[in-house]
Structure 1
């Protein structure tokens, strides 16, 4: 039903997310976090079914645990990750999407539809790529 009077809509920043962790996953602080097809946090990896989530804030070890047995805090924002040498991102790729290779590396292409989108390229340096997760 549509509003017919003012509504007190609460808000939160959306910068920090608490995401349930996938079974048997270990996410290290500073890693590129992803969400798998069933909605659980997992380290970035080559897969066509992940969604780039952001940076892991503290190491979480769910070894032996079921899906959702633990949660991880993931920060959204702009973070620097390694550039994949064989599929390198260049200045010409600024503001294009980049793709997950592993939990610390991004690439220019989806690797023949084998890699999931990480986020947007916002800066390219000799030492890495700044990726925006939003």
Structure 2
């Protein structure tokens, strides 16, 4: 049974909405300056739940593939995400995140040899600019470590 278009759009919107709460939850409800602990609390329950539901462990070459994926996606990404959440104002973090599609377009040009179209670049710049108009304020300093993370 296929889902309706509005249902698919609503389901698709859940991911950015949930990611959008990361900075608010991190700065308002979690212990300050603990990116590793915060990353652990973000990843461990979901990982244990998935393991309990699937009840399947990797086999053969999938052990090292799972280790690499886990180290990059969870072990590196989440601590860096929370480090930036602790060190950057939420608005600046939102602008940096909104520029993600431009980074992907640049990486695809460098790594895959695919030149981004003018439409891709224009929409990426427009999105980052639009987010900056909504969330940026004069208050808040740039933090090099937070931006790098």
- TM-score range (shorter-chain normalised) is under 0.3
TM-score, normalization by structure 2: 0.22
Which structure features the higher share of helix residues? 2
Q: Which structure has more RCO (C-alpha within 8 Å, separation ≥ 6)?
A: 2
TM-score (norm 1): 0.23
Between Structure 1 and Structure 2, which shows a larger proportion of strand residues? 1
Larger radius of gyration: 2
